[in-house]
A and B are shown apart, each in its own frame.
Chain A
Amino acid sequence: MSTSTVATPTWSEQAFQDALQIIAEGLTELVGFGMAVISVRRGDDLVVVAVAGADFAHRPDGTEDQRDDMLGARWPATWLQGLLDVAEDWGRFKFVPHGRAPAANWIWVREAAVVSGEDAWHPNDGAIAPIHDAAGRLVGVISVDDPVTGRYPDAAQRRVMDKYADEAAKVVLSVLEREALERRLQLAEGTRQLVRTASRHLALDALLDETGPAFLEAFAASGLWLRVHGSGETVLTGSRPQMAPGVPTEAIALAVAEAAGELWQRQQAAIVYDDGRARNAVLDRAQVDAVRQVLTDGELSSVLHAPIGAGSECLGSLILGRDLGQPDWSAAELDQAAEVGRDLGRIIRNGRTYSRMQELVRELRELDARKRHLIATISHELKNPLTVLLANRDLLESEIEADDPALGHLADVDANARRMSGVVDNLLLLSKLADPDTPHVERDVDLRLLLDEVEAAYGADMGQHGVTLRVTTPAEPVVVRGDAGELRTMLANMIGNGIKFSDDGSSVEVTVSTGRDAVEVAVVDHGIGISAEDQERLFSDFFRSQDPDALARPGSGLGLAIVDRILRRHGGRAEVTSTLRGGTTFLVHLPTTGVTPTTSV
């Protein structure tokens, strides 16, 4: 009889074997048999995991096995069925009398002490108790031979055998279930580790460096091949570098990529074994043969291929290889591998979404830089001819008579050219204020000093317009924290705006007061006022009034946009109250530092 013997079964955990050994010994000593053997099912085979009472035994062909050889011996489960088919029912145990079944169906036979009589036990007699799980699947078998009495067990002995088998079956089941749970736990932990590490957006090779070994152990695999389409990245890990020369050949890589797409659609993982068996495989015969060649070259028994994907998109492949002599892949392992493919897919997709967003940000930054450059160029392109224009205007003015009517036109040209120049300045200023990375010099600033400067600057303008400017400030410093230049521009624009919309002979009043946390600057004019509708949109970017009166007043129309930007940069805000034709009050709030300035403006 031929039986394959595997020296180190993967499940031969010491505790597991010890547990079953105790049961086997119980059978020999408590129930009274010369030999008891417990086998558990592994795939299509039964594997001997415990032997009690005997240090050696003979195969039906006469060869002798020592105890160490006996442990781990395999025999096909179909042989057991052959024995059960002819057995007598003793309850838990089934008795197989000699001669009914081929002796070759037994893994070992025992030379029993031959006694005479009808009830004498024959060396080729045997008793076996199959063990089934809750679902009725055969999971193992207990077999006994060589009763110490040398005779068939009597009714009382059979009752004890029955009870004992019952008890032993429970323990065997419990031990097997525990073992299965442990495998699942190991799978769950191994895959979790991989997924957890992958979430850190690691490159594939770093990912495998970190989690590859645990993952391989969880799947009882010796090689792992990870490939993500489009990245051109193929990473391999495992104890089998031989896998490397075989796998990445062009033809196989292509077949794998194609298969991954198909498998992803079906949401399945596939397996190819070295003996040509396949599960869920979408490869044609030639491709399967090519894969088998890779297995042979790599001394592997099988590969499992799980597609990596997210949504409707297949993103790559996860391939696991198993060593020769390893058992077939279980359904749970197949499911787990497919799950890992989905997990990795989600992570890769998220990573790509993130990268795309980073790329977008980079492009937008470039765009902004170009725009910044464009604005600088526009202002340069406009400032140049304005300078030329003004210079020639001055030249012309100096060349003509004092009573020449052209003088009036030249004065208008001057005013309009300066107005254009102011608009271009505002373009640059607003562009600068909008940029978040424009430096903002923060220091303590006394608003009174700024107002003095603005007042002085408007001095000449005042006379021209016939508008009186009245500034009221507290006796003590009014300190806010901010950029003095920007704040001065802000105040100048507020006041300029007031003057612009005032009628000749009217006045603009500026009052500064300090509250608990804020400084208030009120700018009151008695000019044309702002309609309720316009007030709402006054500070929105580039607001333009529809009031023909307002439009008729010269000015850039960007003044309040600048005020708004500067206030935003200083954590301040502005309010407006106005009635059409009844004047306007702007109230600006700026957060205060409440301390005396250490630096003067």
Chain B
Amino acid sequence: MPDPAELIEPSAVHAAWLDDLTYSALQLIAEALVELAGFGVSAIGVVRDDGLLHTAAVFGNDEAREQLAGHTTPVEALHAELALGDRWGRFTFVPHERLTERLPGWVGTYDVRDVEDAWHPEDLLVALFHDDAGRLRAALAIDVPDDGRRPGPERRAVLERFAAQAERAVVSALEKARIADQLRLAESAREIIRRASSDLDVSLVLERAGDALLASTGSSGLFLRAFTDDGRSIVAVRTDGTRLPRQPRTGAIAERSSRELWRRQQVGAIYRDELVNLDDNEDNRTIQSLIQDSPIASLLVVPLGVGDECVGSLTLSRPGSAPRWTAAEMAYTFDLGGDLGQLLLNARAYDREQRLADELRALDDYKNRLITTVTQELRRPLSAIVHDVDLIGRDSLPVHAERALDRMERTSERMVRLVEDLMLLSRVADPEHELTRGPVDLLPIVRDVSELTEVATRERDLTMRVRTPAFTPVIALGDAVELDRVAVNLVNNAVKYTHTGGTIVITLRQTEEKDMVELIVADDGIGISADDQQQLFTEFFRSTNPVALARPGTGLGLAIVDRIVRRHGGRIEVTSELGVGTTFRVLLPAGG
């Protein structure tokens, strides 16, 4: 029995490169051939990735199976042997007498018939099977013809039919295995990407990808790292317990190798005795020497990147018993590196925005506290100034000196108002300064305010009408001091911008739905232009209207009202027409 495969390395486990289903399919084909073609023994060898022909299935003779199964031989050696024979279509027949040296194999012990065309145990009958693309995929050898003769022209035609069919079956089985393998890789890639894409956080992307990768790449461990803007890296590690000795430089080496590999658009493999796609430099030799005495036999270095940019690195490890990295696996992990690179880039962009938002928030917070602190720092010298100015006697002063003193008084008072308003604004605008809520009856507040402005209204001949329920309280939910300030500021505002002889109407009531209370302050004063209305509640907003500009104020009154109303969960509306008047409507949650 000629052997299509010479023993080079014993490979007891067919499953290492051929799955069980394919193996049994080949076994069935070998069996069918023996039964149909009239031969006693058949063997099928399959061409592997590495160019070796591997005997995968033997049928018909136990001794032959023992000797042949799992043996490998270089394809060229078989070609050399077949070159001596006669081509019968797919089959080549090499009579034993032409063989000077022959590949080791099984030689049956049976009697040679005493006929002219008798089959000899050392005769060789081998068919070569090619796929659709014309690549040699397998070889079939048959031995021990039922009739003990070398096949004549008729048998040869029949044999050719069987060979054609067997070729289809064998190629089909092998292709199926290859496609199934690709499918497994494609589906696992999707699963990895799917899991890793569920978050926009770099660490979580790495962790999720790490779990999914370990399950699908047949590795014993992995090292996944994302390079960051500031030169650090974020790392996820998965391992079955075996890992390389800790080495401070491995991170930097992985980054350098990955950047180079991404530039070349390749993945690299490090074996104890070989470097694939990686330069023989100090970095890679360092890693090679690390795995030399470890349970890890090989590392696959996969760059993670997008476009021109390498954003991370994936290193997969395999133990000594595991097979080498196949071309399909390398191609698959390379694609995966691109997909993961995109996810990392997305996560990084998000991370950057998030950090920016945090920084901006901190900056805003800082500036708020800065304003508060500065305002507080101003109080002490300011009250000292007010006190000193107050103590300066007027009696003996010349007239224009007295005027200077008046001006000093007025400006210091103005500064006091400003600082007070700033303090209040800081307090009501500070989210950390919590609002103390309680039921507040707005009725006495509104009455007090109208009384307080009596002097001003009388001086300028203003009519002030207050419309409130006669007996029932109007209760809002909030802070009495702050709500008092809302009423004071709105009424003062109305008084300030109403012409002499004008009318101000204050209305206080519950809304129809009873869930809010309503404070309306309406005047028939100078009014506010539509443009100005847009910015009315901004601090220090100055009207473009010269009439309004002529009336003094801190510029913070309405900003304070707005903040207080907002933090009470209410809202403020303004309707106004230039030269006709202005109406402010404040809605506050009802209390009690």
Q: Report A's interface with B, CB cutoff 8 A.
A: 15, 18-19, 22-23, 25-26, 29-30, 160, 163-164, 166-168, 170-171, 174-175, 177-178, 181-182, 184-185, 188-189, 191-192, 195-196, 199-201, 339, 342-343, 346-347, 350, 353-354, 357-358, 360-361, 364-365, 367-368, 370-372, 374-375, 377-378, 381-382, 385-386, 388-389, 392-393, 395-396, 399-400, 404-406, 409-410, 412-413, 416-417, 419-420, 423-424, 426-427, 430-431, 434-436, 541-542, 544, 554, 556-558
Contact = CB atoms under 8 A, between A and B. Distances in A.
A409 B391 contact: yes
Contact of B172 (A19, A392, A556): A19
A357 B350 contact: yes
A354 to B, nearest CB: 5
Contacts of A164: 36
Contacts of A386: 411, 415
B400 to A, nearest CB: 7
B21 to A, nearest CB: 9
Contacts of A354: 200, 346, 349-350, 353
Contact of A412 (B173, B366, B384, B411): B384
A200 B346 CA distance: 8
B86 to A, nearest CB: 23
Contacts of B350: 350, 353-354, 357
B493 to A, nearest CB: 18
Interface in B433-473: none
A399 B399 CA distance: 10
B408 A188 contact: no
Contacts of B361: 364
Interface in B328-353: 338-339, 342-343, 346, 349-350, 353
Interface stretch (B58-66, B257-265, B371-379, B497-505): B371-379
A554 B384 CA distance: 12
Contact of B353 (A361, A393, A426): A361
User: Interface residues of B toward A: which range?
Assistant: 35 or more
A-B complex: 7 closest residue pairs judged by Cβ atoms: A364-B360, A416-B381, A399-B401, A409-B388, A385-B411, A188-B186, A542-B373
- Interface of B, secondary structure class, is helix
Interface of B: 25, 28-29, 32, 35-36, 132, 158, 161-162, 164-165, 168-169, 172-173, 175-176, 179-180, 182-183, 186-187, 189-190, 193-194, 197-198, 200, 338-339, 342-343, 346, 349-350, 353-354, 356-357, 359-361, 363-364, 366-371, 373-374, 377-378, 381-382, 384-385, 388-389, 391-393, 396-398, 400-401, 404-405, 407-408, 411-412, 414-415, 418, 422, 538-540, 554-555
A372 B364 CA distance: 9
A182 B172 contact: no
B215 to A, nearest CB: 17
A338 B183 CA distance: 19
A434 B381 contact: no
B408 A392 contact: yes
Contacts of A360: 353, 357
A340 to B, nearest CB: 10
A216 to B, nearest CB: 18
Contacts of A26: 161-162, 164-165
Contact of B371 (A23, A375, A385): A375
B374 A427 contact: yes
Nearest to B158: A30
A427 B357 contact: no
B405 A396 contact: yes
A18 B169 CA distance: 12
A426 B373 CA distance: 11
Question: Which of A15, A178, A354, A358 has the most chain B CB atoms inside 10 A of its CB?
Answer: A178
Given A188-B186, A558-B377, A171 B168 contact: yes
B389 A347 contact: no
Contacts of B349: 354
Contact of A181 (B176, B404, B408): B176
A361 B361 CA distance: 9
A184 B184 CA distance: 10
Given A25-B161, A170-B169, A423 B374 contact: yes
Contact of A15 (B132, B186, B190, B407): B132
Contacts of A426: 374
B183 A185 contact: yes
Contacts of A364: 356-357, 360-361, 364
